[in-house]
């Protein structure tokens, strides 16, 4: 009665063209694509209001690390992501939405792995942001609070990593690149704007 599909998967036979080669490349791809199969059992890519492909991809990249924690293929997407932190959260370009998997890592660390399942259960009947928000409300939070926290977590990476309070693998992530730095004096006025669902 809802917008779901059954599916099958075909695999490459050598994995020589991917950032992670050989059997490890096959392993993370299998985890990624299998999670897509689960996702479209909840709901297909195109939804009535917007294109939610970023949710599908960021969650499937996250699943790669859930299934094969020691491979860390998702690190390949992080240099771009951390050098474009002012891009909107829902940016649908490949490198950004794959790097967005760290949002799911943050949620998992804070609330446990089932928070991602809860998002997909909500997404079956609600649009993207409402589904994410509904899932987070069940954990005593909401999407606005988590996007604000996400901006903070993204500062504590690389040389500034705090693997106790923020990303547990944050010391392997790139340093966040600031768009601008300002020196505080007695008075500092900051003006500007950001795109919807973005951080400056």
pLDDT at 26: 96
Distance CA 96, CA 81 (A): 5
Reply yes or no on whether the pLDDT at 170 is more than 60.
Answer: yes
| Of the candidates 176, 179, 181, 180, the residue with the CA atom closest to the CA atom of residue 154 | 176
**Residue 12 — pLDDT band, cuts 50, 70, 90?**
confident
How much is the average pLDDT of 75-100?
A: 92
Distance of alpha carbon 14 from alpha carbon 33, whole angstroms: 16
Determine the average pLDDT of the residues in 8-12. Answer: 90
Indicate the pLDDT class of residue 116, thresholds 50, 70 and 90.
Answer: very high
pLDDT of residue 48: 54
Q: What is the pTM of this model?
A: 0.92
- What per-residue string of b and e applies to 28-41 under the rule 16 or more CB within 10 Å gives b? bbebbbebbeebee
Q: What is the pLDDT of residues 128-140, one digit of tens each?
A: 999 999 999 999 9
Residue 115 has pLDDT above 70, yes or no: yes
Per-residue pLDDT reduced to its tens digit, 24-70: 999 999 999 999 999 999 988 665 556 788 999 999 999 999 999 99
Phi/psi-derived region of residue 7, left when phi > 0, alpha when psi is between -120 and 50, beta in every other case: beta
Q: Give the C-alpha separation, 136 to 3, whole Å.
A: 23
């Amino acid at each position: 009665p809802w917008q779901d599909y059954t599916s099958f998967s075909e695999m490459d036979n050598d994995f020589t063209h991917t950032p992670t080669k050989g059997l490890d490349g096959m392993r993370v791809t299998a985890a990624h694509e299998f999670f897509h199969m689960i996702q479209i059992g909840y709901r297909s890519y195109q939804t009535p209001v917007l294109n939610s492909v970023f949710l599908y991809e960021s969650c499937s990249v996250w699943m790669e690390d859930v299934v094969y924690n020691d491979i860390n293929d998702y690190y390949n997407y992080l240099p771009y992501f951390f050098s474009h932190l002012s891009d909107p959260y829902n940016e649908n370009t490949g490198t950004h939405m794959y790097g967005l998997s760290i949002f799911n890592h943050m949620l998992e660390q804070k609330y446990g792995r089932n928070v991602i399942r809860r998002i997909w259960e909500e997404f079956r009947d609600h649009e993207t942001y409402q589904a994410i928000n509904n899932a987070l409300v069940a954990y005593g939070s909401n999407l606005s609070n988590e996007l604000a926290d996400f901006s903070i977590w993204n500062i504590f990476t690389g040389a500034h990593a705090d693997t106790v309070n923020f990303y547990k693998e944050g010391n392997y992530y790139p340093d966040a690149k600031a768009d601008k730095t300002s020196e505080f004096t007695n008075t500092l006025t900051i003006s500007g704007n950001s795109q919807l669902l973005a951080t400056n």
